[in-house]
Structure 1
Amino acid sequence: MLKRRELLLAGLASAGCTPDAPSLQGGWVGTHPERGHRLRGALPAAGGPARKASVIIVGAGIAGLACARELVRRGVDDIALLDLEDQAGGNSRSHRLDGSPCPLGAHYLPLPGDEAREVSELLHELGLARSRLGRTEWNDRQLCHSPQERLFIDGEWHESLLPPADDAATREQYRRFADLVAQAQREAGFAMPTRRAPWTAAHAALDAQTFAAWLDRAGLDSARLRWYLDYCCRDDFGADASGVSAWAGLHYFASRHGFHAPGDETAEREPVLTWAEGNGWLSARMAEPLRERIHLGRSVLRVTEGRHGVDLQAWNEATGAPERWQARAVVLAVPIFIAARLLAPAPDALRIAAGRLSYAPWLTANLLLREPLLTRPGAPPAWDNVRYGTTALGYVDARHQSLDPTPRPPLLTAYLALPTTQRSSLLSQPWQHWVRVVGDELAQIHPDLPAKLVRADLCRFGHAMSIPTPGLRSSEALAALGRARGRVVFAHADLASYSVFEEAYTAGVAAATLLSL
């Protein structure tokens, strides 16, 4: 008899999920790693007349778009955004498959807390929220529809991603972890974005150790709790509890709505905003008013600060020709390790910070099925669906938010946060290989999925998110970049040591504020 894995792979082969089977359609979409890799080789000669702008923003991700929006709001109109991809939005971009929108990266935004003032203002501007009688009312259409999430465990679907406590010891550990998170909120203080919380000796002590070591010392060794915390860290930070700092692990909960043990009568489902195209909905609306200022398919290769301004050397991917740009000031809204390659010469703080940062590779797979999946026992289909015990991040249903009652084939978006050791494989292996990896994972809970898969469009991010490793948030070099003044300033979520929308957006607004003073 075939082993279980061989049976799964056989099922994938029957669906056309093999490199030589033409029935399965798909391929790589969304990113162009070869463009970024231009920085590894000899730079082409600069050419052509210089194009000019008062402020040039390198990177049209969330931080770059936020910076541009704020500059325009402050009356700085002569700006240009350059991005190497063909769509603005960075990790928050979208795709269309079979005529339907779906995410390529980030797919939700938690409702902002009191400290995320800039994000809250954006959401009000976009019509997602309104203030009434001193309270914020949210657009119900954009809040995640119920059921929101479920976990496949013990042979059936369970509502919520927190594994059910199967014994008294696990229930007690859930309660103790909830108490420790609440204590950290009271005594140390956490905020989103993190720049709004004080940085104290208590924070530095948490940042100096791994989250796993902190949990060990607290006696929190429940397999179900530890799996859940690993999942949470991998979801936001790209690594599990052994790879991120204790500060980061606690920040995940303490900067938002805490952690609520099962049976906590005060617990409420954490509301999130989501769309069929994920956070691409947000980035598209941020980019629309700036469309005349955004120059896509421009791979910036060198940034040089001079006495009277800043020179940029770029490559126009559409024409295959070099371009020159000049500005009075430049915002590097790109990952820190990229900024260190672009800026010549790189200041010490930038060079040191780039050496400290590590990044998680990321894969998203949008999967079009020909018919619905078979029903499994337990909770009904939800927006977010995860399997207990796996290192994968599960899948979201891109059609969950649709109000159209017309029957359509399922469109699922699966997520993998990969170990850094698999970055090379992510970039070198053909897309069919990664379809097999994703299909193998999902077949554990949906054995019928391989035979129903008709198309798979995959997006790969070699350096998707900064991992908040121990000591990174305490780095003076990273803090120095956030305080940088002059013709070149920095705006990226990396400045907070990890990558989420709130940090990127706030960093972009802060950079614009500096330049317009």
Structure 2
Amino acid sequence: MTARLNRRDWLAQMQMAALGLVGCRADETPLAGGWVGAAAQRGHRLRTLKSGALPVAAVQRRAHVLVIGAGVAGLAAARALGQAGIDDVHLLELEDEAGGNARGHRMAGMDCPLGAHYLPVPGDEAAEVCALLADFGLARFAHGRWVWDERHLCHSPQERLFFEGAWHEGLLPPAEPGSDTLAQYRRFSLLVSQAQREVGFSMPALHTPWTAAHAALEAVTFADWLGRHGLDDARLRWYLDYCCRDDYGADAATVSAWAGLHYFASRHGFHPPGDEEAEREPVLTWPEGNAWLTRRMAAPLADRLHTGRTALQVIERLYEVEVLVWNEATGQAERWTAHRVVLALPVFIAARLMGTGASEALREVAAQAHHAPWLVANLHLDAPLLPRLGTPSAWDSIAYGSTGLGYVDALHQSLRPHAGPTVLTAYLALPVAQRAALLADDWRPWAQRVIGDLAALHPDLPQRLQRIDLMRYGHAMRVPLPGTRTSPAHQALSNLKTRVTLAHADLAGYSVFEEAYTLGVQAGFSLARTLRRSRHA
């Protein structure tokens, strides 16, 4: 039988975690770890430069189309251009690996994510995403429906919640029969279904025409909307806050009611306990997370993908676009000249690169945009953690009442016949006020915070921990504030007719794979049509 900690030992471990004493293992060996990913100084190079201090280019390069930013949208744009027959396409990426928020990592020979770690099985509205997954052998269309490769669907148990001393399957807090909690779960479910029928939602959202009903929902916060409908149960409100922080990086009091409902209504709805028609949303996941997808998107680019390149300036001329770039490896500036440029970057970076050449709409949206900082921590454990009461180890685990986003087990998808060493990936969506602290040099306070949170669930974790690697995102994802999509400036961005094309999830008002990929594909094919027309003019 597996040994269990008694209550006194468990409480002692909890106190150690609270005091921040879990930074060392039992043998007093200092904790190994540190920051991974590019240094924050790369991203801040543009911010600290003044126009008169721009470096002189030592290298001149040319491309027919230049894509700046090799995240999901940039990779999608390059892929679409290639499919449309535009071959001279080069990508510039600040980091040392493509993928943006969907990059991967490796610890002790085990793959793990550095960002996005799953993709919900797309519906028919996400035709572009379905086509990508089919190309990668993850799905095939047979007898009028998509059939998914079971090997890439999340294994069971998929999710669990630590609630009142035990693990429960699923992330929705339990509700007793006849309780007000259960009644509010059912009421919210009916409201989500009503919104699906009467307002309309899809994933990606750009495939749903924007109406006055959508605008009305976007005018208020999700928390205000819930309050108007008498939905104030503590368990329901915690769960909805968790969902908003998980997808948007901010709570229900911050995001719009449209965004809060979109989380559920654009996919499989909301199902209260006892709903016989409820079907858990299937998700595709891999040990390295969505890096499984982005690495395959980047592979065909070969030497046309240039990593470690920080864009400093974009100048649109009459017949071409000039881009000044800093090569992080050589310490030299490069000047690229292209007929067309795709800026697959957050709006505030795109506006800064364009400078005085940025459109009024882009400058206004950049000033309005609110981006959430994120911390992603990968913890290498040398052995399985001791089990607790309830549901056994799952892919995704979170504690009720926590402000964190829980953790995923990178080896949950493994087919190994016995448990062993693994990597847990923990996520924190942080308030903007903590961005400066996140970007400070010392990683240890953040490591202790993560370890303390997880030790409250697994008191033996500090003794199992071998190393912790942390990835920080100062501006991880755009938060869908009230008024985001309704803004005239936001709507005007999609109608700009210049040599510089925008393609980023920021244009959707929030950051998920489906939006970024679809926007990138649409930008790539639209640009290809423009280039063909100009060639034959």
Identity of aligned residues (%): 60
User: Does 1:24 find its partner at 2:31?
Assistant: yes
User: Does 1:227 find its partner at 2:238?
Assistant: yes
Q: Which residue type is aligned with residue 302 of structure 1?
A: Q
2:330 is matched with: 319
2:451 is matched with: 439
Indicate how the Cα distance of structure 1 residues 347 and 397 shifts in structure 2: closer, same or farther if over 3 A, else same. Answer: same
Structure 1 residue 292, shift from structure 2 partner: 2.1
Deviations 1:48-68 (A, max 9, x none): 242000100000000000000
User: Does 1:476 find its partner at 2:488?
Assistant: yes
User: Does 1:55 find its partner at 2:65?
Assistant: yes
Q: Is the CA contact (8 Å cut-off) linking 1:16 and 1:23 kept in structure 2?
A: no
Instruction: Tell me, in whole angstroms, the C-alpha distance in 2 between the residues paired with 1:468 and 1:49.
Output: 40
Matches within 5 A, 1:276-287: 276-287=287-298
Instruction: Tell me, in whole angstroms, the C-alpha distance in 1 between the residues paired with 2:91 and 2:127.
Output: 24
Deviations 1:428-463 (A, max 9, x none): 151111110101111111111112211001100000
The one of 370, 386, 389 aligned to 1:374:
386
Q: Is the CA contact (8 Å cut-off) linking 2:225 and 2:257 kept in structure 1?
A: yes
Structure 1 residue 407, shift from structure 2 partner: 4.5
1:96 is matched with: 106
Q: Which residue type is aligned with residue 111 of structure 2?
A: P
RMSD: 1.6
Instruction: Tell me, in whole angstroms, the C-alpha distance in 2 between the residues paired with 1:33 and 1:256.
Output: 35
Deviations 1:364-419 (A, max 9, x none): 11001122211100011100000000110000000000112254313100010111
Q: Which residue type is aligned with residue 58 of structure 2?
A: G
Q: Is the CA contact (8 Å cut-off) linking 1:31 and 1:461 kept in structure 2?
A: no
Q: Is the CA contact (8 Å cut-off) linking 1:56 and 1:81 kept in structure 2?
A: yes
Indicate how the Cα distance of structure 1 residues 135 and 10 shifts in structure 2: closer, same or farther if over 3 A, else same. Answer: closer
1:361 is matched with: 373
Q: Which residue type is aligned with residue 164 of structure 1?
A: P
The one of 151, 155, 162 aligned to 1:152:
162
Instruction: Tell me, in whole angstroms, the C-alpha distance in 1 between the residues paired with 2:17 and 2:261.
Output: 41
User: Does 1:293 find its partner at 2:300?
Assistant: no
Deviations 1:239-282 (A, max 9, x none): 00001000000000001111011111110010000000000100
Instruction: Tell me, in whole angstroms, the C-alpha distance in 1 between the residues paired with 2:59 and 2:409.
Output: 48
SS of alignment partner, residue 441 of structure 1: helix
Instruction: Tell me, in whole angstroms, the C-alpha distance in 1 between the residues paired with 2:415 and 2:458.
Output: 25
Indicate how the Cα distance of structure 1 residues 10 and 308 shifts in structure 2: closer, same or farther if over 3 A, else same. Answer: closer
Q: Is the CA contact (8 Å cut-off) linking 2:17 and 2:456 kept in structure 1?
A: no
Which stretch of structure 1 is more off in the superposition, 268-277 or 408-417? Answer: 408-417
Deviations 1:205-263 (A, max 9, x none): 11010000000000000000000000000000000000100000000000111101111
2:184 is matched with: 173
Q: Is the CA contact (8 Å cut-off) linking 2:384 and 2:419 kept in structure 1?
A: no
Q: Structure 1 regions of 5+ residues with no counterpart?
A: none
Structure 1 residue 475, shift from structure 2 partner: 1.5
Instruction: Tell me, in whole angstroms, the C-alpha distance in 2 between the residues paired with 1:123 and 1:133.
Output: 18
Q: Which residue type is aligned with residue 176 of structure 1?
A: R
2:525 is matched with: 513
Instruction: Tell me, in whole angstroms, the C-alpha distance in 2 between the residues paired with 1:342 and 1:353.
Output: 14
Q: Which residue type is aligned with residue 495 of structure 1?
A: L
Q: Is the CA contact (8 Å cut-off) linking 1:62 and 1:90 kept in structure 2?
A: yes
Indicate how the Cα distance of structure 1 residues 53 and 435 shifts in structure 2: closer, same or farther if over 3 A, else same. Answer: same
Matches within 5 A, 1:6-405: 6=16, 8-9=18-19, 11-15=21-25, 23-42=30-49, 43-166=53-176, 168-344=179-355, 345-405=357-417
Structure 1 residue 3, shift from structure 2 partner: 11
Indicate how the Cα distance of structure 1 residues 3 and 456 shifts in structure 2: closer, same or farther if over 3 A, else same. Answer: closer
Q: Structure 2 regions of 5+ residues with no counterpart?
A: 1-10, 530-537
Instruction: Tell me, in whole angstroms, the C-alpha distance in 1 between the residues paired with 2:277 and 2:165.
Output: 29
With normalisation by structure 2, the TM-score equals: 0.93
Higher helix share: 2
Matches within 5 A, 1:461-472: 461-472=473-484
Q: Which residue type is aligned with residue 92 of structure 1?
A: A
Q: Is the CA contact (8 Å cut-off) linking 1:485 and 1:514 kept in structure 2?
A: no
Q: Is the CA contact (8 Å cut-off) linking 2:371 and 2:475 kept in structure 1?
A: yes
1:497 is matched with: 509
Q: Which residue type is aligned with residue 264 of structure 1?
A: D
2:532 is matched with: none
Structure 1 residue 32, shift from structure 2 partner: 2.3
Indicate how the Cα distance of structure 1 residues 239 and 323 shifts in structure 2: closer, same or farther if over 3 A, else same. Answer: same
Q: Which residue type is aligned with residue 189 of structure 2?
A: A
Structure 1 residue 484, shift from structure 2 partner: 1.9
Structure 1 residue 486, shift from structure 2 partner: 2.0
Alignment size in residue pairs: 514
Structure 1 residue 22, shift from structure 2 partner: 5.3
